[in-house]
Structure formats: structure tokens, C-alpha cells
Structure 1
Amino acid sequence: MPSQKPRILHDYKDLFLSLIPLVLIAVVFAGLASQCSFAATGPTEGRIPHFDVAAALGSDARTLDFPIRNPELPADWTPNSGSRETITAAGGGPVSTVGYVTGAGTYMRLTQSSATEQQLSRFVLGSRYATGTVDVGGEKWAVYSQPTEETAWVTDLGGVRVLITGAGNDAAFRTLAGAVTAAQPLQP
């Protein structure tokens, strides 16, 4: 009499029982690699990555051909990211972007470029169009707003177009817009 049942008699219970050791092995390896954790009370807020915004924007001011501003933001705003790209279309140019996590935990992004407003907005926002304007500190900002997309504000500060976007509320947008317009361009 054979010691194993015929293959045709195998069912989902047999499949499930054969997968248990594989799942346990995967969990052990993930745990050893510190790639997973367990929290009985649910997810916890992670650490915000450190990003030296002063060094990044200082470098951009030295290497890019337009004025770069480093806004003075509230102490509970934490810079967490940055990048530099180039818009290659006509009317484009280099783009400097830094991101912040606000005190309320929302993400806001500041983009500065020598590109035209149209090229910058197409590069960052896609095919959206301005839906209105708002005045902050005497500066007029074009508002790009759609129900299913993040809001964005764009202004021209003479030689540089500034675009801010993010998940923040109106107060977060006004805080960032006011800080950018109040900031003096960094010296190269």
C-alpha cells in the first residue's frame, strides 16, 4: 500500500498545509532583515527624514541662473525632501523643489524655476488650468484647483516662477506663500 495518497485526491487543505512552512520562513527572514514590525495598537507615525534645506537651496542658488529663495517657516515645519530637474520644452528651464511636512502632518512642496508659468504648471500639474487668484502679502497667486487633485498656487517673483502645492489647508498655503514672498533671494 502506498504511503501517500494519489495526486488526484489532493485538495485545498493540502495546499494550505504545504504553504504554512513557506510563510513562516518568509516572516522569519523579513524579521531578521528588520523589514517588518508588528504593533498591536495599529500603525504608528514614522520619523520624518532629515533634509538639509539650507544646503540644498544654497547649492541651487550657486548653480542655477535664477534667484532662489529659502523661506523662513514656522519651527514645526520640517523639510524632508528635495530635487532638481529640467523642463526641456520651449520656455522651460531648471527646476528646484523642496518639500516640507507641516506641524499638522501634511506635505507641502515648494518649486522654483526660470520656466514660464505655463511650462512650469504643465510640468508639475499636467493639463490643469488656473481657476482663480488669491492675494498673499501683496503678491497675486494663480490658483489651480480641481476636486480630485491637490491644489496648487503659482506666482511670478521677477525672474523666477514659484509653485506651491500639497495636501495642506488654506492656512498652510498662505503660510508658505507669505514666507516665500517675504524671503530675499539667496546670494550665489
Structure 2
Amino acid sequence: MNDYRDLVWSLIPLVLIAVVFAGLTSQCSFSASGPTQGTIPSFDVAAALRSDAQNLSFPIREPALPANWQPNSGSRDTITERGGGTVSTIGYVTGAGTYMELDQSDATEQVLAGHIAGGKYPSGTRDIAGRKWVVYEEPGAEPAWVADFGDSRVLIRGAGDTEAFETLAAAVVAARPLPAT
């Protein structure tokens, strides 16, 4: 008659085989000191934003961020619903190791926030460097801040603390639009 002990004894060799294969293919590692941050991918933020400034129909800003903030990704997206537009996205890893995202678009605030921030709702405003940022929040989720720059809207979001949001917001406000030609 088979019982739970037989099941456990039959699973032990399978688990050991899986661990050996994972170790051989370098898919897992063990460290007594806990998890460590991997290598941050390199991304040429200046070239990406210059290209966006030349190819998109709205002003693009390149914020001057602290030296320990590293750009690690970028993309473009299109929001097709009414009030939508093109979205230029740049991702950064802060000095504290958290991810922050900068989205610039010609979409309306509500459509941009709905597209990027999902079900978050406006919960208040913050004044950063003389610019009003609408804060979108949802319990248990990362916030998103949106500012209207006239010809464009800027949304920032990420896992950073309030200081990271304020740093990115102030840098965007201080940045002048890149030349379109």
C-alpha cells in the first residue's frame, strides 16, 4: 500500500535532479549574504530622447539627474483611444537601487494616467519646483505623479520613495525641451 512516505521518497530524487540541472546551467546560485543586485543594463538616454524630440510631435525633456541614477531602458508606445497619443518612456535605477520611470506624452492626463497607472485614482497634488503634480494612488501599489506642461504631459512612477519622486519631478521641471531638429 502506498502512503505519503512513499510519495516523499519518490520526490526527493526528482528535486535533487532539478537542483543539479539548475546549478549546471547557472540558473540559480546560493549566497550566505542574501540577494545582490545584478548588473544594470546600459542605455543611451541622450540618444533616445534626441530621437524622440526629432520624431515626435510634442516637446521632449531630458532631466539632469544625480550621477548615481542610471538609465536602464527606453521605449515608445501609442495610446489609440480618444485623447491618446504617443508615449516616450525612459527607465532609471536610482542610487538606492529602486526603479523609476519617466513617461512623456501628448495624450491627455486622464488617458495617460489610465494607460500607464491603471486603476489608480487622483488622491491629491504636490507642488514641485513651481509645477503642480497630480498624485495617482491605489492602496498597496506604487504611486504615479502627472504634470501638465501645456503641449505635453509627464507621468513619473516607480518603487522609489518620496525623495526619488521629488528628485525626478524637479529635474523634469528644470529641463528645457530638446530641439526638434
TM-score (norm 1): 0.86
CA contact (8 A) 2:119 2:138 kept: no
* Distance (Å, rounded) in 2 between the aligned partners of 1:10 and 1:132: 62
1:141-166 residue CA offsets vs partner (Å, 9 max, x unmatched): 11223332222211111211001112
Q: In the alignment, what sits opposite 2:161? A: 169
Letter of the 2:170 counterpart: G
Q: Compute the displacement of 1:56 (Å).
A: 2.0
Q: In the alignment, what sits opposite 1:185? A: 177
Structure 1 runs, 4 residues or longer, greater than 4 Å off: none
Q: In the alignment, what sits opposite 1:139? A: 131
Q: In the alignment, what sits opposite 1:34? A: 26
Distance change >3 Å, CA 171–CA 40, structure 1 → 2: closer
Letter of the 2:171 counterpart: A
Letter of the 1:19 counterpart: L
1:44-69 residue CA offsets vs partner (Å, 9 max, x unmatched): 22222222222222222222211111
* Distance (Å, rounded) in 1 between the aligned partners of 2:115 and 2:40: 27
- The answer to whether the aligner puts 1:116 opposite 2:116 as a matched pair is no
Q: In the alignment, what sits opposite 2:122? A: 130
Q: In the alignment, what sits opposite 2:37? A: 45
Computing the radius of gyration over CA atoms, which structure comes out larger, 1 or 2? 1
Letter of the 2:103 counterpart: T
Count matched residues: 180
**Which of 156, 175, 184 is 2:148 aligned to?**
156
* Distance (Å, rounded) in 2 between the aligned partners of 1:32 and 1:58: 43
Identity percentage over the alignment? Answer: 66
* Distance (Å, rounded) in 2 between the aligned partners of 1:141 and 1:35: 42
Q: Secondary structure at the match of 1:130?
A: strand
Q: Secondary structure at the match of 1:144?
A: strand
